[in-house]
């Protein structure tokens, strides 16, 4: 599988600032909250909390406010670009992102312990490029 899709990462300024990662592929949109930031070096792992989302995540005006489980606050686009899906199934994505800041290969996976929580907990990790 090697399709080109788009992503957007927004810095959400709430009382608990965090990043929102939204991936769009063939009209399907998935969003994760990254409360501890974005992995920047290989083998760096961060928690990712899956959130309900829709295609409007890409069309909202900058500096508008948005509500999620971390509260309501303004957000700004941190980075956007395209990505290729290298592997995809219900509990794992491997993507190659081509953004200005979010660049490289990333593994997003839903570990066993994350599937049984109230919100689906995932892990995002920067991995070596193939």
* Distance, CA of 107 to CA of 82 (rounded, Å): 16
Task: Report the domain count for the chain.
Answer: 1
Tell me the β-bridge partners of 21.
9, 32
* Distance, CA of 108 to CA of 122 (rounded, Å): 7
* Distance, CA of 84 to CA of 125 (rounded, Å): 16
Q: Supply the pLDDT for residue 58.
A: 62
- Whether the full predicted model's pTM is greater than 0.75, yes or no, is yes
> What is the domain range of residue 78?
4-127
pLDDT tens sequence across 54-102: 666 666 566 677 767 667 778 888 999 999 999 988 889 999 999 999 9
| Residues counted in the chain | 130
Percent of the chain residues topping a pLDDT of 90: 48
């Amino acid at each position: 599988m090697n399709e080109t899709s788009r992503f957007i990462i927004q810095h959400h300024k709430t009382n608990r600032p965090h990043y929102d990662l939204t991936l769009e592929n063939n009209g399907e949109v998935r969003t994760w909250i990254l409360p501890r930031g974005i992995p920047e070096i290989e083998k760096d792992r961060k928690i990712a909390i899956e959130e309900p989302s829709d295609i409007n995540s890409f069309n909202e005006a900058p500096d508008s406010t948005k509500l999620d489980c971390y509260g309501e606050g303004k957000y700004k686009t941190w980075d956007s670009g395209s990505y290729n899906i290298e592997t995809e199934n219900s509990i794992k994505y491997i993507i190659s992102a081509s953004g200005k800041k979010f660049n490289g290969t990333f593994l997003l996976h839903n570990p066993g312990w994350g599937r049984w929580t109230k919100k689906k907990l995932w892990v995002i990790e920067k991995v070596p490029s193939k």
